[in-house]
Amino acid sequence: MNYMLTHDQQKIATEWEKYKGYTIRPLASALSYYSEIIASHPSKTKFMLYGGTPELRTLFQRLRYPLTLVDRSPDMVAAMGLLTCAQRALSSNEHYLKKDWLQLEELNEEYDLLIGDDAINMVPWPKFELFLSQAWKCLRPKGLFICHLLVKPSNDLIYTEVSEVVKEFRQGSSKSTFDLASRLNFLSWDESSFGMGWQKTIQALGESKLALFKPELDFIATFKFCNSQFYCPPLPLFEKLVKKYFFIRDVFYPQEHDYCSFEPIYVLEK
């Protein structure tokens, strides 16, 4: 399934620009954390990025570090390249490989550092272990995997009525439209699949209920072309699975929004 409901690279880039500040894109505190880890490695380090996250690619472009981009969608990678500081589909320091993240044994390469910003959330929960095992195989001994993901929100944020969310928002409980967007997505989290996403929220709530949050947030106008689906397991289940393959060296939480408490960044060591 495509990440975006269009194949036009410029349109994808234009739509993606709408998401600045939302947790679908790396926030400033997360980028600072990424930057410290990346810059602590020498340029000869072999780096691999899942997908085409423009903010992360910009970090590498400014350092002039070689970077391998792995994704099944060349359109998405090229579109994200337009949002980097180089403003090109591929920068001179980048090498793109069209591969499925669940078939990385075909790379026949070993890397020192892998980065996945929300990448693991895009595979269904039953395939999380395959994703992690593939990452493990791609790493040299002592190599690192920086894994940013969404985990299951707390039950009180999932099992509630839209009217209560409206009330909370009007009373100021949701401090920003960025938190509000996350809050609305939480309502569509599914207990059987651990899945949620923009299109699922639009379908579940419908135009009339989402209109209750205008003019502060026009949810449909903002996210109607984003087809990303996020599979967000309970944190204890994720950590139990991770420990089969990695040592958890560090965990960092972005700081900008209240609901960043459900978006840890793990530094995993082979």
Q: Indicate whether 108 and 210 sit together in one domain.
A: no
Q: How many independent structural domains does the chain possess?
A: 2
Q: Indicate whether 246 and 124 sit together in one domain.
A: yes
Task: Give domain status of residue 259, yes or no.
Answer: yes
Q: Indicate whether 28 and 108 sit together in one domain.
A: yes
Final residue in a domain of this structure, among 223, 245, 261: 223
Q: Indicate whether 60 and 134 sit together in one domain.
A: yes
Q: Indicate whether 33 and 13 sit together in one domain.
A: yes
pLDDT tens-digit series, residues 110-125: 999 999 999 999 999 9
Q: Indicate whether 79 and 100 sit together in one domain.
A: yes
Question: Which pLDDT score, from 0 to 100, does residue 3 have?
Answer: 66
Q: What percent of the chain has pLDDT over 90?
A: 83
* pLDDT, block means (10 residues), the chain with 270 residues: 73 90 91 96 95 97 97 94 96 96 87 96 97 96 97 95 90 84 95 95 94 94 89 98 98 94 97
Q: Indicate whether 257 and 141 sit together in one domain.
A: yes
pLDDT tens-digit series, residues 242-263: 999 999 999 999 999 999 999 9
Question: Which pLDDT score, from 0 to 100, does residue 228 have?
Answer: 82
DSSP 9: H
Task: Give domain status of residue 3, yes or no.
Answer: no
Task: Give domain status of residue 243, yes or no.
Answer: yes
Q: Assign residue 94 the CATH number of its domain.
A: 3.40.50.150
- Name all contacts of 238-243 with Cβ < 8 Å and 24+ positions apart: 238/128, 238/149, 238/151, 241/128, 241/129, 241/132, 242/132, 242/147, 242/266, 242/268
Q: Which domain holds residue 170?
A: 155-223
Give the three-class secondary structure for 248. Answer: strand
Task: Give domain status of residue 4, yes or no.
Answer: no
Q: Indicate whether 93 and 24 sit together in one domain.
A: yes
Find the radius of gyration of the CA atoms of the chain.
Answer: 18
Task: Give domain status of residue 169, yes or no.
Answer: yes
Question: Which pLDDT score, from 0 to 100, does residue 1 have?
Answer: 47
Task: Give domain status of residue 30, yes or no.
Answer: yes
0.85 surpassed by pTM: yes
Helical segments of the chain, H only: 9-17, 28-39, 54-63, 74-81, 128-138, 155-158, 162-170, 177-186, 198-210, 219-223, 235-242
Q: Which amino acid is at 38?
A: I
Q: Indicate whether 183 and 60 sit together in one domain.
A: no
b/e per residue 141-165 (b: at least 16 CB within 10 A): eebbbbbbbbbbbeeebeeeebeeb
Neighbours of 102 (CB within 10 A): 13
Task: Quote helix, strand, coil % in the chain, to nearest 5.
Answer: 45, 20, 40
